[in-house]
Chain A
Amino acid sequence: MIRIRLAEMLARKRLSIVELSDRTGITVRDLEVLRDQGAMALRLRTLDCLCRALSCTPGELIEYCEEPPR
């Protein structure tokens, strides 16, 4: 599965989700959905905003990991 490492990136950059929302213009609710791995798709524009605000590459923000057993 694809995992968004938003929580880790926020911790590394010492940012709150509200601050990231202010920087990117993405709503707190949407950022929470991303952080909680609830998103089904991610627009390139959103990824661009996040990478710019967090000063990171898409590879640092997104990772592939094995599906957890159900």
Chain B
Amino acid sequence: MRFLGPRSISSLLKTALDVVYYGLFSLLVVVVLAAVALLVMPNMAAEMVRRFDLSQDMSSGMEALMMLAFALSLGGYLLVTHLTRQVFSTLAAGDAFHPDNTRRLRWIGFGLAGLEILSYAGRAFVEHALHVRLEQGYGLRAVTAWFSVLVVFVLAEVFREGARLRQEADLTI
């Protein structure tokens, strides 16, 4: 299977990234609309709480905060996907060591770290507000997530060195 061009790994990955990106974008729109709907129709929230058998009602402020946090995390994923698409577009153009990719990868790392921290805050908030215990044994998954962040930062440094070498090659006459 070829790496670049039609029906290649690259086009497959591009399609996957596009699907994720537009899917996240649609989901973000839905969440924002739902948040607006919750503010306009407070009864809807009570109905949802009853339907999902949550232990108790939340105040409208907490609901709004939860929606905001969810929208924020979706925005974070959207940003990470957007930057990944940008990195990928340079790769597809045969210019993987573009100087901007270092910055993009660093922001992907910061984005993933921020999303992980946001998820801790969200979990703590939900557990405290709803008096429920979410997923047990999250620690191992957290290690994986932080390891991924570390890998992205290492890759950013690799790309920085790659960009430097490319510049050096460009300026070798």
Chain A residues with a Cβ under 8 A of chain B: 26, 30, 33-34, 38-43, 46
Nearest residue (CB) in B for A30 is B173
Q: In the complex, what distance in Å separates the CA atom of A9 from the CA atom of B173?
A: 18
What 10 A-B pairs are tightest by C-beta distance, nearest first? A40-B171, A41-B172, A30-B173, A39-B173, A40-B168, A39-B171, A46-B173, A34-B173, A42-B173, A40-B172
Q: Which of B132-173 contact A (CB under 8 A)?
A: 167-168, 171-173
**Sample of 22 A–B contacts (CB below 8 Å):** A26-B173, A30-B173, A33-B171, A33-B173, A34-B173, A38-B171, A39-B171, A39-B172, A39-B173, A40-B167, A40-B168, A40-B171, A40-B172, A41-B168, A41-B171, A41-B172, A41-B173, A42-B172, A42-B173, A43-B172, A43-B173, A46-B173
Interface centre among B168, B172, B173 (most CB of A within 10 A): B173
Chain A nearest CB from B169 CB (Å) reads 9
Chain B residues with CB below 8 A from A26, complex form: 173
Chain A residues with CB below 8 A from B171, complex form: 33, 38-41
Chain A nearest CB from B165 CB (Å) reads 11
Q: Which of B85-121 contact A (CB under 8 A)?
A: none
Chain B nearest CB from A66 CB (Å) reads 22
Q: In the complex, what distance in Å separates the CA atom of A42 from the CA atom of B168?
A: 11
Q: In the complex, what distance in Å separates the CA atom of A36 from the CA atom of B16?
A: 45
Chain A residues with CB below 8 A from B168, complex form: 40-41
Chain A residues with CB below 8 A from B173, complex form: 26, 30, 33-34, 39, 41-43, 46
Chain A nearest CB from B91 CB (Å) reads 25
Chain B nearest CB from A25 CB (Å) reads 12
Chain B nearest CB from A62 CB (Å) reads 13
Given A33-B173, A40-B167, A40-B171, 19 more A-B residue pairs with CB atoms under 8 Å apart are A26-B173, A30-B173, A33-B171, A34-B173, A38-B171, A39-B171, A39-B172, A39-B173, A40-B168, A40-B172, A41-B168, A41-B171, A41-B172, A41-B173, A42-B172, A42-B173, A43-B172, A43-B173, A46-B173
Chain B nearest CB from A13 CB (Å) reads 19
Chain B residues with CB below 8 A from A38, complex form: 171
Nearest residue (CB) in B for A47 is B173
Chain A residues with CB below 8 A from B167, complex form: 40
